[in-house]
Amino acid sequence: MAGSSSLTHSDLLCPSPGVRVRFSSNKERPLQNERDGILTGGGVASFRPVPTSVYAACVAIGLAVAGLLLVRGPHLGDHEVIVAQTARQILQDGNWVIPRYLDTPFLVKSPLPAWLVAGVSIFFGKDPATGLPVTDLTARLPSMLAMILTVFVVHRLARSMYPRPIAHLAGYVAATSLGLLLFAVNATAEALLVLFCTWAFAEFWWSRQAADAGRARFHMLRFYLALGLAMLAKGPMPMPMVALPIAFWWWADRGLRLVALGGPRSIGRVVRFSAADFLPRLRRAVTDLGLWWGVPVFLLMFLPWMIAVARQEPYAWRLWEYEFLDRARGKYPGCHWGELHYYIPILFGLMLPWALSVPEALAAPFLRAHVAYRKPLVYAWCWVVIPFLWASAMSFKKSYYILPVLPGCVLLLAPVLHRFFFETVIRDRRRAVFAVAGILLVVGLIPGVGYFTLGRMYPEEWHGTIPVIGVVLCVLALGGLGLAAWSFVNARRQVSFFAVGASGFATFATAWCLMGPALGNYDDPLELVEKLRQAPVSKEADLYWASNRPDGRVLFYAGQPLKQVLDPYKLIAEHHEKASGDDLRMMVALDIIALLKGRVPVCLVMQREDFELLTSYFNPPARALFSVDRGAIGEDEDDWVVFTNEGAHAASFAETVHGADLPG
């Protein structure tokens, strides 16, 4: 701010012009010569920007590695397989309107991810193991393509905000950020949501910068299309992630820039001005933003699907109210108020390896050092801060809820990182060396902590080559950061900048390809199916999942048909307003008892904790077959217990509920 200090992390190595620096030796003087790539003009020193050809080479390498990530890595997780199995069933039964997961309609999520996976799988071969459509590769391909397009949109948007070197830098930062990398290989809706939210933000910005009204309307049309597609990818997240921050920016843009110009003393005056300007800005929104025609375009992207579904499944409206509105009201299971700091460490983690610059990036719109880019920085600031505050205030939190703010964070980081790497001249070499050493010491703890954390999270897999790979990852990360630090203090800024991103990118790719298959295995579902085939039970007995969300990998990978005791979403939609959580669980338990007492042979899967709770209330005729050990050693509550009503007597059920009595 104008009235406050604008000290940045660049100034720690490059004191402000008004600060006098005394050099005690030639080694501490600024390195300003042709070898170091420093250009001087008008008394301001800067390093040569990275050539476009270098970025082009990075794009080629990145696309090659992206292909490798798709064919290597772990199998689908239990959450990813929902999209994959739903897509497979779309292709099997031809029902694109009402996607089904196992034997029930899956209406709790928007259908676009499953539609895209099904559409992509048409052009690929079938899974050689099952002979069915949809494989790990085709399940993850839409997410990978979505993140590649996201990086492209970020670069195009940055090109309209900043000079070309900063725009290229923004694309590189986006492509090497951990959050975007992680969900590029995740077969869920998150990558598609990030893409369409980013596209919507870009189109809105371009509409405000358009040279004429016709081009502005064209960009607004694409804005409403992108926002509607985002709803079809993962509704209603685009409303707080896009509509809310854009509405805030539309109203507060001028006020925020006035505060940045006038300092804290201007806040009161700016608040009064913004309050008086609220209604005029609202009237302008109706006309300038085309709300009267844009909202119908927006609704056209997803509302017809919702109506078509509700005509066949009338409970859908009540389900969506529960899933979306009750979640926001704090009436959803798992909601808990507080923990306003929850997303702070997550944001830093998702922005690795650039996380150290995030604090300055969030302050950048209000710092004199970045005054030349204040308008786009304010736009990106609203993109990041408003959804972040909304997510922090929500009672239901998930780490991936803030993913759509990452491209905005990249746009905040771009001028900050460009100034740090290419406009910062070291005036005190000794001070710079100590500062960089301190940063390395702190950052170097991250791989070490990760190494020991993974060992505790995956004790059964943490043996053989896995710890060795962990050491390789630590060396790779620390080696890259060490090279970046050495290059920075020796004025090899291009090398320093690329080393930071490359170290993060290479570490992630190595971990995914080498460590991922071991840590993200699907042994538990395969073990369950193999034991079931060997168990003394009729092969015609249906297998029912009776605890929490079914693990679809039992069907997707092992080909074992799997049913649910009842449609959980229909049960919730029809009874959640009148029944408590305990009442709903009792309804499920009664259906389980009815299955066990029936004449048709059945097998059921329950978590041990739920299994033992069931036996404390009932003693139905059932026979325990086996258990599948899951989770950490010594923690048995998540183990799967499989039991049947075939050949059972009432007394036998109570006698075989303890782990020691179950064949493992």
Q: How many CB atoms lie within 10 A of CB 284?
A: 12
Question: pLDDT band at residue 649, thresholds of 50, 70 and 90?
Answer: low
Kindly list the distances between the CA atom of residue 298 and the CA atoms of 132, 227, 285, in Å, as whole numbers in the listed order.
Answer: 36, 7, 16
**Over the stretch 29-50, which tens digit does the pLDDT of each residue have?**
333 333 334 443 333 445 677 7
Percent of the chain residues topping a pLDDT of 70: 84
Q: How many CB atoms lie within 10 A of CB 634?
A: 6
Mean pLDDT computed over 294-307: 96
Q: What was the pLDDT predicted at 417? A: 95
Provide the 3-class DSSP secondary structure of residue 641: strand
CA 455/CA 425 separation, integer angstroms? 42
Element counts in the chain: helices (H) and strands (E): 31, 9
Burial class, 503, CB count within 10 angstroms (exposed 0-12 / middle 13-18 / buried 19+): buried
Q: What was the pLDDT predicted at 455? A: 66
**Over the stretch 137-168, which tens digit does the pLDDT of each residue have?**
999 999 999 999 999 999 999 999 999 999 99
Question: pLDDT band at residue 583, thresholds of 50, 70 and 90?
Answer: confident
- pLDDT of 92 higher than 70: yes
Q: What was the pLDDT predicted at 459? A: 65
Q: What was the pLDDT predicted at 62? A: 93
Q: What was the pLDDT predicted at 162? A: 96
Question: pLDDT band at residue 547, thresholds of 50, 70 and 90?
Answer: confident
- pLDDT of 537 higher than 80: yes
Nearest to 77, CA basis, from 151, 181, 193, 182: 182
Comparing 310 with 490, which gets the higher pLDDT?
Answer: 310
Q: What CA dihedral angle connects 273, 276, 277 and 282, to 10 degrees?
A: 150
- pLDDT of 461 higher than 90: no
Mean pLDDT computed over 516-531: 86
Q: What was the pLDDT predicted at 659? A: 42
- pLDDT of 657 higher than 80: no
Q: What was the pLDDT predicted at 35? A: 34
Q: What was the pLDDT predicted at 516? A: 84
Task: Say which range, 67-71, 84-88, 272-276, 492-496, has the weakest mean pLDDT.
Answer: 272-276
Three-state secondary structure of 389-427: HHHHHCCCCCHHHHHHHHHHHHHHHHHHHHHHHHCCCCC
- Is 121 within 8 Å of 377 (Cβ atoms)? no
CA 71/CA 135 separation, integer angstroms? 10
Task: Say which range, 169-183, 254-268, 437-451, 594-608, has the weakest mean pLDDT.
Answer: 437-451
Mean pLDDT computed over 260-278: 80
Kindly list the distances between the CA atom of residue 64 and the CA atoms of 20, 70, 117, 152, 482, in Å, as whole numbers in the listed order.
Answer: 49, 10, 21, 16, 26
**Over the stretch 431-460, which tens digit does the pLDDT of each residue have?**
777 777 777 777 667 766 766 776 666 666
**Over the stretch 96-124, which tens digit does the pLDDT of each residue have?**
999 999 999 999 999 999 999 999 999 99
Spell out the residues 6+ positions from residue 256 whose beta carbon is closer than 8 angstroms to its own.
Answer: 365, 378, 381, 382
Q: What was the pLDDT predicted at 338? A: 60
- pLDDT of 464 higher than 70: no
Bridge partner residues of 545 (DSSP):
564, 605
- Where helices occur in 30-111 by DSSP H, the ranges are 52-71, 80-93
- pLDDT of 653 higher than 70: no
Mean pLDDT computed over 78-90: 96
**Over the stretch 217-265, which tens digit does the pLDDT of each residue have?**
999 999 999 999 999 999 899 999 999 999 999 988 888 888 888 778 8
- Is 123 within 8 Å of 585 (Cβ atoms)? no
Q: What was the pLDDT predicted at 633? A: 62
168 residue type, one letter: H
Question: Position of tokens 């080696």?
Answer: 479
Q: How many CB atoms lie within 10 A of CB 660?
A: 6
CA 108/CA 573 separation, integer angstroms? 10
**Mean pLDDT of all residues in the chain?**
84
- pTM to 2 decimal places: 0.88
Task: Say which range, 253-267, 391-405, 499-513, has the weakest mean pLDDT.
Answer: 253-267
Task: Say which range, 434-443, 505-514, 562-571, 653-662, has the weakest mean pLDDT.
Answer: 653-662
**Tokens read off for 488:** 């920075």
- pLDDT of 203 higher than 80: yes
Q: What was the pLDDT predicted at 40? A: 38
